[in-house]
Structure 1
Amino acid sequence: MKTMIIYDSKHGSTSHIAKMIGCELQFDVQLSDIQEPISLSDDFNQIIFLAPAYAGQLRKQAAAFLASHQETLLQKTLILVNTGLQFSEEKIAQQLQAIFPAALREHAELTAFAGSIIYPDKLNFFEKLILKKIFHDQRLEFPRHETDHYLDKSALDSIVQALNEQEGRTYST
């Protein structure tokens, strides 16, 4: 099974997470940044799509990609992964329902939330202001340096394990 990992990344967190997943898989994958031209050829029968949510929505280019490629994605094995900061399981579930189109969400073999890596030096003034408010509301200290403390490593492990097991079943049949 040929797999492509497609990601949208504004500051590098989702890119880093996509590469982490790709490195842990026990089969070859192609990494593709949504900013670059992407061909969803018949060569790829599995797509892992990662994108962050900002204010409960995908960025425009991620939403446009999913909309313009929906028919093709519905013909492939699909994994949807949301990245970002979210502290409530209930809000994570709501966000996963809201950001991915219903047809893709229902078709996906797995929909998951992976958390985030924070790069404070890459944030603009308004992004820092918003994150500081979020951290304040959660009674957490805003990180001054890069941190993967908000990465859901157990979710990433589950994603990788499920994909590796699926690949093993594909080869053994």
Structure 2
Amino acid sequence: MNTLILYATKYGATKQIADQLARELGGNVTINNIHDGKPGIEAFDTVIVGGSVYMNKIQHGITSFLKANEKQLIKKRLGLFIGCYTPPETEGYLEQFFSTALLAHAQAKDMLGGLMQYDKMNPVYRKIFMSLKKIDDFNKNFIEPKIETERIRAFAERMQTETMRC
């Protein structure tokens, strides 16, 4: 399997996810940050695309890549993921970031966790989150996010075992 993992990250957590996913997949895996240039996907039979969600938005580079390459991606073994602190059980969340056609075609799709990297946040957002964490009602439901190792492992297994749907 000749695999491309194309990702975008704001603070680095999505790169950590992409690196762990590459280790789980093994084989010939190329990891590419979309900000370093958009590679041609012709040479890859498997393409995995992921981005971080920040303030309910995924990076523009990811959305523009997906729109520009949707027809080619549907001919590939495809995986889609996001890195975020939204709970993975949140129904309909992936649909905000990926087209219906890509989601229907994807061999694996999931939210693979994230990190709240307060020291790297915009000072305004950091102050908002720190203020929220002082509110008891907020803390009752807030779980500090983490990179979901088991979900990444399961994602890699789905990419390796499912037959390609075209």
Is the TM-score greater than 0.5?
A: yes
Counterpart in the other structure of 1:8: 8
CA contact (8 A) 2:88 2:110 kept: no
Larger CA deviation: 37-46 vs 27-36: 37-46
Q: Secondary structure at the match of 2:48?
A: strand
Kindly indicate whether residue 155 of structure 2 is the aligned counterpart of residue 154 of structure 1.
Answer: no
CA contact (8 A) 1:132 1:142 kept: no
Kindly indicate whether residue 159 of structure 2 is the aligned counterpart of residue 163 of structure 1.
Answer: yes
The amino acid that maps onto 1:122 is: K
Kindly indicate whether residue 15 of structure 2 is the aligned counterpart of residue 22 of structure 1.
Answer: no
The change in CA–CA distance for 1:88 and 1:72 in structure 2 (over 3 A counts) is: closer
Counterpart in the other structure of 2:78: 78
Shift of residue 28, structure 1, vs aligned partner: 1.6
Shift of residue 26, structure 1, vs aligned partner: 2.5
Counterpart in the other structure of 2:98: 100
Counterpart in the other structure of 2:140: 139
Shift of residue 153, structure 1, vs aligned partner: 2.1
Counterpart in the other structure of 2:113: 115
Q: Percent identity?
A: 21
Shift of residue 95, structure 1, vs aligned partner: 1.1
Kindly indicate whether residue 34 of structure 2 is the aligned counterpart of residue 34 of structure 1.
Answer: yes
Q: How many residues align?
A: 161
Q: Which runs of 5+ in 2 are unaligned?
A: none
The amino acid that maps onto 2:123 is: F
The change in CA–CA distance for 1:88 and 1:43 in structure 2 (over 3 A counts) is: closer
Shift of residue 58, structure 1, vs aligned partner: 1.6
Q: Secondary structure at the match of 2:35?
A: coil
Shift of residue 130, structure 1, vs aligned partner: 4.2
The change in CA–CA distance for 1:45 and 1:4 in structure 2 (over 3 A counts) is: same
The amino acid that maps onto 1:116 is: G
Counterpart in the other structure of 2:54: 54
Shift of residue 60, structure 1, vs aligned partner: 1.7
Larger CA deviation: 62-71 vs 26-35: 62-71
Q: Distance in 2 between matches of 1:130 and 1:109?
A: 37
Q: Secondary structure at the match of 2:110?
A: strand
